[in-house]
Chains A and B, each alone.
Chain A
């Protein structure tokens, strides 16, 4: 049986995938994508998502690379760090998003070189 990843883990996966594609993802996009997948759950609210983002940032799994202000709201752009990418090894093959990660698996070096 396939199961969704824990919401916080899924957020990290989205940021890692964007980073490997050398693309940037911002707070609004993360909220939008997560609400598409977890929106039917009461836990899935902007406040919780933003708290998870700060938690990922504080332990160094993602890095905030640019911040701007839009309608009195801070919109941050994020990329994954090497430590964040290393966490992707922990995605179980029973997870719904496991197959989504497979194409990126071999491209981890791209991001590592990009960061250094």
Chain B
């Protein structure tokens, strides 16, 4: 009887850990789908105008966040968690999620785009791909997250794989703003890394589905009240709502909502390091979807990068028993 109880308890805990891994993988797959949809959107009018490339990316991010925020709110209404939104917002945890929303939404996204503009896409991609490593270090420091060597190697491989897939040979021309661009890219990576840590800390006592709802809503409001007026983008924002664009934006909003809900559930159930490492598997899905939809063949560095990511992801998620206790506190 005792053995039965012990094995049932272990089964229950392993089921919970596996659900966490599943959520992280869903977040990666749907983030890849979302990237493909947004990539397609940016080839359409008015986003494809070279004169407004920077504005267009931020406006696309704003609308996409807005739709996602709306769909997550609808989902929370359906699951009967609407009241939790206010409770979270007016608690001390709400403040933390708001800070995280500001850091990971407009700040990180602007840093990413400014990095591309000033330092070039290759350096920015490499620097920003390191966000899971930054998140892991911060989680170990501040959340006392427990990670064994195998998981740490897995996380590093996922980061390395993401860097390889996103790598483009840098040009020899160094702009006068290059170092400032590198700083902006680091700000983006830090913003995304901090989001994981702040989010995980808040989700200790707040439902992940509410935390992500607050995060997306605040992020959208930040775009509308601060980012769009700053880049003078309201005209472009209005022109974005063409009939064909709206359908893509709604689809991207739904996919993004699924991705973010899974991402936050994963953060809460498997810890920051693992969740980020599994989330960064999204380049694999982008490549597969690009090949299926657009017939784009992967280059050698994409294939090598993907293999490295897959190997890293296996190391990270291969042993759910290591996830039964995520943190190490001294009693």
Among residues of A, the one whose C-beta sits closest to the C-beta of B4 is A69
Which residues of chain B are near A56, meaning CB under 8 Å? 204
User: Across the two chains, which residue of chain B brings its CB closest to A13?
Assistant: B205
Contacting residues, chain B, for A105 (C-beta < 8 A): none
- Which residues in window 9-38 of A have CB below 8 A to B? 9, 12
Contact residues of B between 170 and 212, Cβ < 8 Å to A:
203-207, 210
Q: Answer yes or no: B246 CB below 8 A from chain A CBs.
A: no
Contact indicator per residue, chain B 92-106, by CB within 8 Å of chain A (1) or not (0): 110000000000000
Contact B329 A81 (CB under 8 A): yes
Q: List B contacts of A43 (CB < 8 A).
A: 79-81, 84, 207
Cβ distance A42 to chain B, nearest Cβ, rounded Å:
2
Q: Is B5 an interface residue (CB 8 A)?
A: yes
Q: How far is the CB of B4 from chain A (nearest CB, A)?
A: 7
User: Interface on chain A toward B: helix, strand, loop, or mixed SS?
Assistant: mixed
> In this complex, what residue of B is CB-closest to A58?
B326
**B interface residues, tally (CB under 8 Å):** 39
- Give A82 to B6 CA distance when docked, in angstroms: 25
Q: Which residues of A contact B91 (CB under 8 A)?
A: 5-6, 9, 90, 92, 95
Q: What residues of B have a CB within 8 angstroms of the CB of A3 in the complex?
A: 86-87, 90
Given contacts A60-B329, A87-B204, contact A6 B79 (CB under 8 A): no
Known A-B contacts A54-B13, A95-B91; A116 and B331 likewise in contact (beta carbons under 8 Å): yes
A95 to B83 Cα, complex, angstroms: 14
Check: A71 CB closer than 8 A to any chain B CB.
no
Say whether B49 faces chain A, with CB atoms less than 8 Å apart. Answer: no
Which residues of chain A in 56-106 are interfacial with respect to chain B, using CB atoms and an 8 Å cutoff?
56, 58-61, 64, 67-69, 74, 76, 81-83, 87, 90, 92, 94-95
Complex contacts, B80 vs chain A, CB 8 Å = 41-44
Using a CB–CB distance below 8 Å, which chain B residues touch chain A? 1, 4-6, 8-9, 12-13, 16-17, 79-81, 83-84, 86-88, 90-93, 203-207, 210, 268-269, 323-331
| A55 and B269 within 8 A (CB) | yes
A8: contacting residue among B4, B6, B12, B206, CB under 8 A:
B206
- CB of A107 within 8 Å of the partner chain: no
How distant is the Cα of A60 from the Cα of B204 in the complex, in angstroms? Answer: 10
Among B4, B206, B269, B329, the residue within 8 A (CB) of A58 is B269
CA distance A20 to B324 in the complex (A): 25
